Amino acid sequence: MTLYAVPAQEAAAAPSGIGTHARASALIDVESGRLLYSSNGDTSMRIASLTKIMTAIVAIEHGHLSDTVKVSKRAVGKEGSSIYLKLGEEMSLSNMLYGLMLRSGNDAATAIAEHVGGSEEGFVYLMNQKAQELGLVNSHFMNPHGLDEEGHYSSANDLAKLTAYALKNKAFAEIVGTKQKSAPNPHEKWDYRWHNKNKMLSMYEGADGVKTGYTKKALRCLVSSATRNGQKLAAVTINDGDDWADHRRLLDWGFRHYPLRAIVNKGDNIAGYPYAVGQHFYYPLEDSEAGSIHTALHLIDPLTTAYALGERGSLVISLGDRKLGSVPVYEQGSIRLKLQERTDRSNIR
């Protein structure tokens, strides 16, 4: 099933009956970017190691997974959670990212930042640049690990949008969905063996990510994701003493109330025209919203390059007065209707 991604939308006028123990929370449909639930979602807060979601995606996009990362004195001396790297140790960026996301290694975060960004400060610049690119208006990063620092913060809604973006990267998704990883250990006869701290991977059906976090000031933070029936949701809680249970409830609620619905399917004929829809379009909708979906056909100039390549226009899909997205339109029987759709944004090198 192919999904059509659209920009993150405001949280829906959600059905009643859901809440958490968190100071802030959010739930997002990953492919469409629709915020299905948000409570205090735009408030900037300390986020502990949820920071490493940004660290990982920036490292994947700017680095090479096969690179060799050398551990500096600054990395070895980093306080907090660690994968116990030693000074001068060398490890592939790929394995370093597993140590970062499964065991929340602050030493790994620092080593990755210095390698990819040239310095920790240079990497933090890339993190904030990415935040700006993604429209994370309530986020600012001061370090790659999430240790408490003034000026380092994000919000539940921003983390939901960031996670939805990152999960579309194959390398990122594979790492955060891994329960256990082994890596060569140059200092011992045995390999490193890292077990993922994210208990959701074992306690929730379909769970496939993402990251735990804790500091004395941020308290318990969690981002989790799960996939059911071709739909992926991601939940965020910040400062939540009952996060495992809250995430199970949030995800269950989202899958139950906002299932993916087929708005149009590739090959559907357009009434009154010799045209057909060129791409599937699915969107998470609550029952009462189904009747508010409408479509409008926009034809293109026959003198354009797109027309010469077979496109005849686009079908714009809206929910009420809000545009959700559009799909291309071709002539019925066009060879373009037989081509495989591509939504791959991975950056594996």
Active site residues: 49, 52, 104
Number of Cβ within 10 Å of residue 274's Cβ equals 10
Residue 161 corresponds to which tokens in the numbers above? 């949008």
* The token pair that represents 21 in the structure block: 């123990």
Instruction: For residue 210, say if its preceding peptide bond is cis, omega within 30 degrees of 0.
Output: yes
Distance (Å, whole) CA 106 – CA 212: 13
How far is the C-alpha of 50 from the C-alpha of 236, rounded, in Å? 10
DSSP string, 255-304: HHHS-EEEEE-TTPBPTTSSEEE-S-EEEE--GGGGGGEEEEEEE--TTS
CA–CA gap between residue 296 and residue 293 (Å, rounded): 11
CA distances from 343 to 95, 168, 225, 326 (A): 26, 9, 19, 15
Q: Is 297 exposed, middle or buried (0-12, 13-18, 19+ CB in 10 A)?
A: middle
